């Protein structure tokens, strides 16, 4: 048997009349006159197939059918109100789910403050945080698997994606503490020419890889890379084990590992850029809210 479709105004009228048990008091609450209210109740009773109220002079009471319908009617109206409130919250960027990709090294700089700021402003938003290097982040953004990326050394241009710089920081040399150059506070990049290098593989961050090898080329040598590692913490651990040296963003100094020294380099003007990335055509209001939070929580460059 087909279930009758009941308009929400009829349910609303029914609930208000059930609470007041008086047409004269219920009508003003609904903003209607008594005759239209009586018509709505009659139409609802026709759909139900049974009287919902007994009507006697000066007295209105719920019938057994009315008492049975009342909890369901209230639940339907409450569910609708909750659904509308949730939809409005998502539409304004105050609730919903935001998927954020981030490069691991940004957990040492941009990410903690950004998440703290965003969480304070939008506590109802569910954050899905995914650690991934730059190249996989760009692919995930293009495919719609993440909404926002926080990455290092973004490409100059990427079809469909927009970028905003949030931080630039200098490079440092990463050395074993026993390395002769570790006694220096600052050293020219060219003095690393005879040392083996530990670097991230180019495929996980082509622009950053090229920036680092470009520093070496500008200093007159091609780095002799003996080991690759996907994460900077692993790079530092391998350097501390004596496998080689590296050049890294200055924030990597916050990784405290025994046997590793971080030293400034010259020329000092070389810097690496951190950016937020998103799909330019994305109209998700949560993305706009995160971009605002990024701007407000812009960290100081190292």
Domains detected in the chain: 8-91 (1.10.10.10), 100-165+275-296 (3.40.190.10), 166-272 (3.40.190.290)
**Are the beta carbons of 224 and 177 closer than 8 angstroms?**
no
**Are the beta carbons of 288 and 122 closer than 8 angstroms?**
no
pLDDT for 294 equals 79
- Mean pLDDT along residues 64-93: 77
pLDDT for 93 equals 60
**Are the beta carbons of 291 and 278 closer than 8 angstroms?**
yes
pLDDT for 91 equals 64
d(CA 171, CA 266): 9
21-65: pLDDT as tens digits: 888 888 899 898 888 888 988 998 888 888 999 888 878 899 988
pLDDT for 244 equals 96
pLDDT for 171 equals 95
Provide CB contacts within 8 A for 196, sequence distance 6+: 224, 225, 226, 227, 243, 244, 245
pLDDT for 2 equals 57
Residues comprising the chain, all counted = 302
**Are the beta carbons of 174 and 260 closer than 8 angstroms?**
yes
- Mean pLDDT along residues 249-273: 90
Residue 140 has pLDDT above 70, yes or no: yes
Q: Which of 192-196, 282-286, 288-292 has the highest mean pLDDT?
A: 192-196
Computed over every residue of the chain, the mean pLDDT equals: 87
CA 203 to each of CA 133, 148, 230: distance values in angstroms, whole numbers, following the listed order = 9, 20, 10
pLDDT for 158 equals 86
d(CA 135, CA 270): 22
Q: How would you classify residue 215: left for phi > 0, otherwise alpha for psi between -120 and 50, otherwise beta?
A: alpha
d(CA 95, CA 199): 40
Residue 302 has pLDDT above 60, yes or no: no
- Mean pLDDT along residues 143-165: 90
- For residue 263 the two structure tokens come to 């030293």
Work out the pLDDT band at 174, boundaries 50, 70, 90. very high
pLDDT for 3 equals 65
Work out the pLDDT band at 301, boundaries 50, 70, 90. very low
Residue 228 has pLDDT above 90, yes or no: yes
Q: What percent of the chain stands above pLDDT 70?
A: 92
In terms of DSSP H, where are the helices of the chain?
A: 8-20, 23-30, 34-48, 64-91, 110-121, 134-143, 206-218, 232-240, 285-296
pLDDT for 240 equals 95
Chain centroid, CA 100 distance in Å: 4
pLDDT for 1 equals 46
Residue 77 has pLDDT above 70, yes or no: yes
126-136: pLDDT as tens digits: 889 999 888 89
């Amino acid at each position: 048997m087909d279930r009758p479709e009941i308009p929400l105004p009829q349910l609303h009228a029914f609930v208000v009349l059930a609470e007041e048990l008086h047409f004269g008091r219920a009508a003003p609450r609904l903003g209607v006159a008594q005759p239209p209210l009586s018509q709505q109740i009659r139409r609802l009773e026709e759909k139900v197939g049974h009287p919902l109220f007994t009507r006697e002079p000066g007295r209105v009471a719920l019938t057994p059918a009315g008492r049975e319908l009342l909890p369901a009617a209230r639940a339907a109206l409450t569910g609708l109100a909750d659904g509308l409130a949730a939809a409005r919250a998502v539409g304004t960027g105050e609730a919903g789910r935001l998927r954020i990709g981030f490069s691991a090294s940004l957990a040492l700089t941009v990410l903690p403050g950004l998440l703290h700021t965003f969480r304070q402003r939008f506590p109802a938003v569910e954050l899905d945080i995914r650690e991934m290097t730059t190249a996989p982040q760009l692919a995930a953004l293009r495919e719609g698997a993440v909404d926002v990326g926080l990455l290092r050394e973004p490409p100059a241009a990427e079809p469909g994606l927009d970028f905003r710089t949030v931080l630039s920081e200098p490079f440092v040399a990463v050395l074993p503490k026993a390395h002769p150059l570790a006694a220096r506070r600052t050293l020219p990049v060219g003095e690393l020419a005879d040392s083996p290098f530990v670097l991230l593989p180019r495929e996980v961050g082509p622009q950053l890889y090229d920036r680092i090898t470009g520093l070496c080329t500008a200093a007159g040598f091609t780095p002799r890379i003996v080991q690759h590692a996907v994460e900077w913490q692993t790079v530092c651990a391998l350097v501390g084990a004596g496998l080689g040296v590296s050049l890294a963003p200055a924030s990597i100094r916050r990784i405290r590992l025994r046997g590793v020294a971080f030293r400034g380099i010259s020329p000092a003007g070389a810097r690496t850029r951190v950016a937020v990335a998103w799909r330019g055509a994305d109209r998700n209001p949560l993305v706009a809210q995160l971009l605002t939070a990024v701007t407000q929580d812009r960290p100081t460059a190292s």
